[in-house]
Amino acid sequence: MTTAPGTAAPAASADTFDLIRRHLSPRLALTGSFAGRGATEVSGDGCRVTLSDGRTALDFGSYAVTLLGHRHPDVLAAVREQLGTLPTSTRSLANPVAAHAAARLAEYFQQALPKVYFGLNGADAVEVAVKLARMATGRTRVVAVEGGFHGKSLGALALTHSPLYRRGLLGTAVDVVHVPADDPDAVLREVRGGEVAAVVFEPVQGENGAAVLSVDVLRRWCADAARHGTFTIADEIQCGLRRCGERSVALAAGLPVDAVLVGKPLGGGVVPLSALVCSEELYAPLSADPFLHSATFGGHPLSCAALPAALTAIEEAAEHGGRLALALDAVLDQLASKHGELIAGLRGTGLLRGIDFTSPAVAGSVVIELAGAGLLVSPCLGRPGTVRLLPPLVSTGADIAEAADILDTAIGVAARRGA
């Protein structure tokens, strides 16, 4: 059986789902088959993904990883060059690729936060940030925010608010209290006792349907924390790096944070990479003992080689991203006006947007229609009534218009079904 370039025969897709059922998860196979209508992903280019049956889909999902789309040529070139010289590190000798990547990241944030630790995913960055805060202060407690998501590894999971992710777990390794996002006095109440090591927040909560936290509240929290010797950590793993318009949402707002956590698109959508970027004070335990927290693949040469190319490409596309955000605002407003019986509200900022539907059933129906019609989005597991849109910076105005048409049709289908 012949297939179009970049596609696979139906039997190959069936084999993929069979392997997923047998060796990964039957439910994963079910959801993947449902989303792709029996097809699998086989290639990506820019903001489009090609499926095994030859269809293509706009990728406005990928959980914020593909800010630069798929296979950005400059990032690929940097990784290929490193692959041809030293693709892994001895971990005994000094590695210049990681050193230059750390310097580039500190420079990217204008040296406001000079120290860097590299991980592979967002939870890595959260784990080391909390660990350092506890060691640097000698305190045990952490303040996190209701609606926040910081990862699913055991330590990071304690900070994640939704109990959905803690089913079957009796406890977590970190003493965490969650405070309301709209309470200016919340942090002061917690830090007065002197036991709080850090306050951790997402300026824009991605998994909570792109909820934007009040800058005034965050400013008050930072001030109260600082007065009581508590570190403040901005988790921008999803909302940073121009996703929401700024290099750092917190730093651009003038918030005096001690750390910014970045990840997802940091590897250019090609390789996994995350980072803690922080002050000398927070980093002090690692300065004293660099082996206090380490990982075999932390600062991996291939990932670190991608970073300078990714940051350069992000900055080159930043102005275009601002125009895309305005176009996205316009089409979402039109959809909300047209489908007011199903759309309860719009959330988010920049290229991180959430559409609140009147129920999880409606949102689920829309997501199913979108996938089949050629638009990939990211559902919010902790807020199932919201559908998240994450357009890449490399999208065009025509892509935004196409996505709007697909959304319009999908919402219309949900309305007719009475979802």
Distance of CA 212 to the CA centre of its chain: 14
Per CATH, the number for 73-313 is: 3.40.640.10
- Taking CA 363 as the corner, what is the angle to CA 362 and CA 366, rounded to the nearest 5 degrees? 85
Other C-beta atoms lying within 10 Å of the C-beta of residue 91: 12
CATH of domain 10-71+317-417: 3.90.1150.10
CB atoms within 10 A of CB 82: 20
E-assigned strand segments in 61-129? 115-119
How far apart CA 291 and CA 305 sit, in angstroms, is 23
Closest among 192, 277, 291, 271 to 235, alpha carbons compared: 277
**What is the pLDDT at residue 170?**
60
Residue 43 CA to residue 55 CA, distance in Å, equals: 11
Does residue 377 contact residue 391 with C-beta atoms inside 8 Å? no
Q: Which two tokens stand for residue 175?
A: 């003493």
- The dihedral through the CA atoms of 404, 399, 372, 351 has a sign that is negative
pLDDT of residue 5: 46
Domain ranges of the chain: 10-71+317-417, 73-313
How far from 83 is each of 2, 98, 118, 302, 303, CA to CA, in Å? 33, 14, 19, 7, 10
pLDDT score, position 164: 75
Question: What string of pLDDT tens digits covers the 419 residues of the chain?
Answer: 234 444 556 678 899 999 999 999 999 999 888 888 899 999 999 999 999 999 999 999 999 999 999 999 999 999 999 999 999 999 999 999 999 999 999 999 999 999 999 999 999 999 999 999 999 999 999 999 999 987 767 777 778 887 777 766 666 567 899 999 999 999 999 999 889 999 999 999 999 999 999 999 999 999 999 999 999 999 999 999 999 999 999 999 999 999 999 999 999 999 999 999 999 999 999 999 999 999 999 999 999 999 999 999 999 999 999 999 999 999 999 999 999 999 999 999 999 999 999 999 999 999 989 988 999 999 898 899 999 999 999 999 999 999 999 999 999 999 888 75
Q: How far is CA 393 from the centre of its chain?
A: 15
Q: What is the pLDDT of residue 9?
A: 60
Q: Quick check: 32 and 40 in contact, CB under 8 A?
A: yes
User: Residue 79 carries which DSSP code?
Assistant: H
3-state helix, strand, coil in the chain (%, to 5): 45, 20, 35
